[in-house]
Structure 1
Amino acid sequence: MSEKIHLLIEQCEAVCREAALRAGASEAAATALARASVAADAEGNHAVGMAHLSLYLDALREGRIDGKAVPEIGRPLPAVVHVDARGGTAHLGFDLAYEKLVEAARSFGIAVFAQKNAFTCGSLGYFVQRLAEDGLVALAATNGPRLMTVSGAREPVYCTNPLAFAAPMPDGDMLLIDQATSPTAFAKVRSAAGRGEEIPEGWAVDAEGRPTTSAAEAVKGALVAFGGSRGANIALMVEILAAGLTGANWSLDAPSISEGDRSPRTGLFVIAIEPSAFGQDFPERLRTHAGRLAAKGVHVPGRTKAAARLRARQEGLSVPRHLFEKIEAWGRS
């Protein structure tokens, strides 16, 4: 087992921020990226946490992310915040527009954040989780370069096109769903390929369209939509929200996130809802209902992650030493 070192959240964010700065990010972009990366590790989502940061660092260095981009924030309607990331990270645009989004949701009961021309966002749950921590119900959709095929297609046509949903409960607890329209996230397949591991049957096809359990072959081929045409339909709905409405690249047109020097210019679409517009007792009602479901053996997603985040904030994180040293080396390069 890899040796681990124990660090406070602030220490993890500092080393990630320094690495992003050295790779070409502005102070604001580096801070946003570091915060999101460490937040994923804090809830146990390591595939898109600090281990995933090297994807962003390479993209900054090689031009797929414009680290100096300043997002353009518009307000075409009172309850709509429209952001052009201008080839930068998804996280910075969201950070800069966050207060406007929350204020609009509180004023009108519902508000929309729509962003185009950004790099892919890593953990989609991060965006809705932040809104739930501020007492809002949130739904998010995002797309990226094509990685997933569907029945009847001969090639990848969509990204994994995830959906995320979060709803607040009292005392920092929350319901949080974050899932791709493929059986798993591509980051997990890429991570398995790096370790030379197999993946479960039914997750992917190889470059020739044949089912495969080799993660390395899956990376060369494509993931498949879960649930056949039903999963494909959900992926299409996500594509229309995240790319169609925002004005971002369709997945078919998005350049690679791991090669070349062009931004994928993909989209992020977030709906924020003020639950008090419908009554004052929503968080408590949800907690009670979640308890009833749990008593019947139902897994209520997000509660374990919420507890992990709280524990990480209080106690810090255990990080593989080799990973910490790799990121720290980026910060010195």
Structure 2
Amino acid sequence: MNDHVTLSLDEARRLTEAAMTAAGALPEVARSVAAALVAAEASGHAGHGLSRVPSYVAQCRAGKADGRARPTLEQPAPAALRVDAAHGFAYPAFDLLIPALAELAGRTGIALGAVRRSNHFGVAGAHCEALAELGRVALIFGNAPAAMAPWGGARPALGTNPIAFAAPMPDGPPLVVDMATSTVPRGKILAARELGAPIPEGWALGPDGRPTTDPETALKGTVAPMAGPKGAALALMVEVLSACLGGGALGVHASSLFDGEGPPPDLAQTLIAIDPELIAPGFAERMAALAAALAGIEGARLPGQRRLQARARAQAEGLRVPRKLNERLRALAAGD
């Protein structure tokens, strides 16, 4: 028997939205979550996609994430915005922040938005990409529950703490750079667990400090930092720019994103938007020249090409989803 099924994008959104609504989320929250998770799945980011629905439902049912929370926005300074996600899901907070931040950057040149009392915020680059589609250069930093030891240590103290960047391109989709500061995001390990598949050696260490290929053991241990001490240093930088700057819990104090146990994660994210034409006119022409220079090198490609290819394939063929996950989604959508 084939261990995968194919879902259309509309069907995947419908199932996700129904699962979230059945768990108690407001209809607009369920729509926001469904749009983000299906977009992640379609872009090839399975670890931030449909595999997250069971844990989101568990959080919502337990009240760990408030599915009925409505984010609020305030402007504490001329070029700064602050969003209180109210211990709800992160996506409605970003739906509120992104257009407001783009507009503010258009007046001030650069603007910063901080999201507090937040949760898992999905594909970091997606939020930057949304700003780039509005003509802004964007950077984002977000912390996560501790899963990675500081360099030289053996106990988790930092999250996988992603960093992402996007810039508008004159003829085509935005340039997007998106990476965890760990070797891989924990979501990829979660996705492997859902599939019952091993993970490659080098991704994670078990609780005993030894390398493991078992995703269950890996989720109880630590993930390896990207590029050794450099990745650990970047994770620390992101912790400062998100949790410390944005008013969130440190990763070492944040609860798990994978279940409904414990208090809200209380994470934070910081998003920066820049209007390039206010800083130095001619940005679009320079970006076109940069893209042409890179394209002229045999074998070279800009970051994000696989993401765009995955989206086109998903649009044409649907999403290939593990059969077990499909069955789980349908059960959750029915309220089971």
Q: TM-score under structure 1 normalisation?
A: 0.92
Q: Is the 8 A contact 1:37 1:48 kept in 2?
A: yes
Query: Against the structure 1 CA distance between its residues 295 and 219, is the aligned structure 2 distance closer, same or farther, given a 3 Å change threshold?
Result: same
1:17-67: per-residue Cα shift (whole Å, max 9, x none)?
Answer: 121111111122111111110111222222211222222112111222111
1:61-115: per-residue Cα shift (whole Å, max 9, x none)?
Answer: 1222111112231110122110111111111111122221111011111111101
The 5 Å alignment of 1:157-168 reads: 157-168=157-168
What amino acid sits opposite 1:326 in the alignment?
R
Q: Which whole-Å CA distance do the structure 1 matches of 2:237 and 2:288 have between them? A: 29
Instruction: Give yes or no for the alignment of 1:278 onto 2:279.
Output: yes
- Give the corresponding residue for 1:299: 301
Q: Is the 8 A contact 2:254 2:265 kept in 1?
A: yes
Q: Which whole-Å CA distance do the structure 1 matches of 2:145 and 2:213 have between them? A: 22
The 5 Å alignment of 1:31-70 reads: 31-70=31-70
- In structure 1, stretches of 5+ residues that fail to align are none
SS in 2 for 1:173: strand
Q: Which whole-Å CA distance do the structure 2 matches of 1:290 and 1:108 have between them? A: 28
Deviation larger for 248-257 or 293-302: 293-302
Give the deviation of 1:212 after TM superposition.
2.5
Deviation larger for 73-82 or 272-281: 272-281
Query: Against the structure 1 CA distance between its residues 191 and 318, is the aligned structure 2 distance closer, same or farther, given a 3 Å change threshold?
Result: closer
SS in 2 for 1:14: helix
Q: Is the 8 A contact 2:158 2:252 kept in 1?
A: yes
The 5 Å alignment of 1:244-323 reads: 244-259=244-259, 260-296=261-297, 297-309=299-311, 312=314, 315=316, 317-320=318-321, 322=323, 323=325
Q: Which whole-Å CA distance do the structure 2 matches of 1:171 and 1:301 have between them? A: 16
1:210-242: per-residue Cα shift (whole Å, max 9, x none)?
Answer: 233333321111112122222111111100011
- Give the corresponding residue for 1:179: 179
Q: Which whole-Å CA distance do the structure 2 matches of 1:277 and 1:310 have between them? A: 34
Q: Is the 8 A contact 1:36 1:91 kept in 2?
A: yes
- Give the corresponding residue for 2:108: 108
Give the deviation of 1:307 after TM superposition.
4.8
What amino acid sits opposite 1:19 in the alignment?
A
Query: Against the structure 1 CA distance between its residues 307 and 168, is the aligned structure 2 distance closer, same or farther, given a 3 Å change threshold?
Result: farther
Q: Which whole-Å CA distance do the structure 1 matches of 2:105 and 2:265 have between them? A: 29
Give the deviation of 1:280 after TM superposition.
4.5
CA RMSD, Structure 1 to Structure 2 (Å): 2.1
Give the number of equivalent residue pairs: 331
Q: Is the 8 A contact 1:174 1:303 kept in 2?
A: no
The 5 Å alignment of 1:83-122 reads: 83-122=83-122
Query: Against the structure 1 CA distance between its residues 283 and 173, is the aligned structure 2 distance closer, same or farther, given a 3 Å change threshold?
Result: farther
Give the deviation of 1:173 after TM superposition.
1.7
Q: TM-score under structure 2 normalisation?
A: 0.91
Query: Against the structure 1 CA distance between its residues 309 and 200, is the aligned structure 2 distance closer, same or farther, given a 3 Å change threshold?
Result: closer
Give the deviation of 1:284 after TM superposition.
4.2
Instruction: Give yes or no for the alignment of 1:143 onto 2:143.
Output: yes
Query: Against the structure 1 CA distance between its residues 107 and 159, is the aligned structure 2 distance closer, same or farther, given a 3 Å change threshold?
Result: same
Query: Against the structure 1 CA distance between its residues 311 and 144, is the aligned structure 2 distance closer, same or farther, given a 3 Å change threshold?
Result: same
Deviation larger for 266-275 or 209-218: 209-218
Q: Is the 8 A contact 1:138 1:166 kept in 2?
A: yes
Give the deviation of 1:308 after TM superposition.
4.1
Q: Which whole-Å CA distance do the structure 2 matches of 1:142 and 1:180 have between them? A: 10
- Give the corresponding residue for 1:134: 134
What amino acid sits opposite 1:179 in the alignment?
M
- Give the corresponding residue for 2:71: 71
Q: Which whole-Å CA distance do the structure 1 matches of 2:131 and 2:313 have between them? A: 20
Q: Is the 8 A contact 2:181 2:232 kept in 1?
A: yes
Give the deviation of 1:150 after TM superposition.
2.6
SS in 1 for 2:252: helix
Q: Which whole-Å CA distance do the structure 1 matches of 2:51 and 2:18 have between them? A: 15
